[in-house]
Structure 1
């Protein structure tokens, strides 16, 4: 997996700092009060569920940030298929440090593994088609980095990371701008004026809007929003390969295979990050 642009050392550090500030505050008083400063112990991260493991590399960063002297023995890597009883990693070092890092590591790995597992499952339903699975911006505030990362680990494709790295003209943009053509032309003028080079995607709600997008041009992708498979097939035939097509809106586990069979290039599913069940796991002393 190629490292995405958002996974910088600075971004990882900022995420971990903010998460620890929320959890630890002015000190882990449970560990400070009950565990001698010199005590050294070990713990293993026990998998109590089946799915795709994600968050191992992030856990390494968290443990190291809390205490650079903690030693990790990673038994399973990100992307591994896991089942109940597997041990993902062993951590050894200062007992207080292990306890302070424990909850953040588990919170990240459990949720990331749930996302990676659901992503991999949906991708399996796309077999035999060219469609690729995209995530969305429907992420947990301040937790987008791990959630987007987990989609990649599960085999999905990250859509734009935020509002800054791509122009997507959704229905409200189109309505406020006065129509598909007006929204596209205004965006192209904005890019020319500001000297920015950003891809433009236009959301369409009907075949008439698809035709308007084709007539206007100057875009990089067309989104087909809340269209039934029959309408998606018409759109695919109408566009005839001139632009990549993304199906979006209310796509579920039950409908994704039919959507993929229409010939679209991408399918975006917000549920990848907003409606998943976390995988159960725990960090146990031994």
Structure 2
């Protein structure tokens, strides 16, 4: 799988099922000992409430967790995927077997709280650069095993996915340049895998490296930890020849000034790495 932009619904569904199966095995294992205290025929209605404002994300994972425990569960979303919810708003209602709802609760909420947090943070950054040409881009700094889920959340929040992994694109960094013998040499070597890569990007730290990369035919350049004056000069020097991306230490306070330099992309590891889960809770009511 290379990106969510070319995911078929079937491929996305398959990934969701894998994620949910792994999470339920981790949590439920051989059986929910506490839920077994509830009579097996008892039915219930569950309401999921948002305790804070957020961009809702993770519905495919929540639905899959609930249906894995009760295939006949009835699920009604009151806030659509990608839409904002308000504090104390009911975002979801489900009716089904009480035992199943109880067993699926934590897995469903774990996906919802993580992915909504990523989507919400992404949307905040996207809003901060509105009106500029810069797109907000994610990185590979993700929770192991949940990269595709988190990158889905970035897209739901209005962001753009960078490469999914080492297998689908080339990002040449400082160590690659040193090991390969310099900027020009490493870019020439990269052409050997160009047909299999979505893109080839090279990281530079100085204006001299940027000029060398441009002279060697670079079409995508990552400007690493450059101060604002240098970024402005880099954009002028580039003159539209390559896609320019900023990376390194980007914060919500600094992102607008960075976007105003005229770069094309700003990659932010904090979208998926430094995430505070959105607060949701589930409340059950027995059905007659």
Range class of TM-score, shorter chain:
over 0.9
Given the alignment, which residue of 83, 87, 91 partners 2:94?
91
Written as runs of structure 1 = structure 2, the 5 A alignment for 1:43-54 is 43-54=46-57
Q: Which residue does 2:212 correspond to in 1?
A: 212
Instruction: Measure how far apart 1:50 and its partner are.
Output: 1.2
Partner of 1:101: 104
Which position in structure 1 is the counterpart of 2:199? Answer: 199
Cα gap change, 1:145 to 1:66, in 2 (>3 Å): farther
Cα 1:270/1:150, change in 2 over 3 Å: same
- Cα-to-partner distance string for 1:177-223 (whole Å, 9 max, x where unaligned): 121112111121244xxx62431011111111111111111x44111
Q: 1:67 aligns with which of 66, 70, 73?
A: 70
Do the aligned residues in 1 keep the contact of 2:16 with 2:60 (CA within 8 Å)?
no
1:244-273 deviation digits (Å, cap 9, x = unpaired): 110111111111111000000000000001
Q: What CA deviation, in whole Å up to 9, does each residue of 1:151-181 have, x standing for no partner? A: 1111111111111111111122112212111
2:261 corresponding residue in structure 1: 262
Conservation of the 8 A alpha-carbon contact between 1:57 and 1:78? no
Q: What is the RMSD of the two structures over their aligned residues, measured on CA atoms?
A: 1.6
Residue correspondences, number: 280
8 A contact 1:52–1:80 mirrored in 2? yes
Q: Is the 8 A contact 2:219 2:241 kept in 1?
A: no
Could you say which residue in structure 2 is the equivalent of 1:114? 117
Secondary structure in structure 2 of the residue aligned to 1:42:
strand
Query: Given the alignment, which residue of 150, 153, 158 partners 1:147?
Result: 150
11, 19, 25: which one pairs with 1:21? Answer: 25
Distance in 1 between residues matched to 2:69 and 2:222, nearest whole Å: 43
**2:282 aligned with 1:278, yes or no?**
no
Instruction: Call closer, same or farther: CA 1:285–1:17 in 2, change over 3 Å.
Output: same
Change (3 A) 1:268 1:145: same
* Other-structure match for 2:184: 181
Which residues in structure 2 correspond to 1:157-168 (within 5 Å)? 157-168=160-171
Deviation at 1:237, TM superposition (A): 0.9
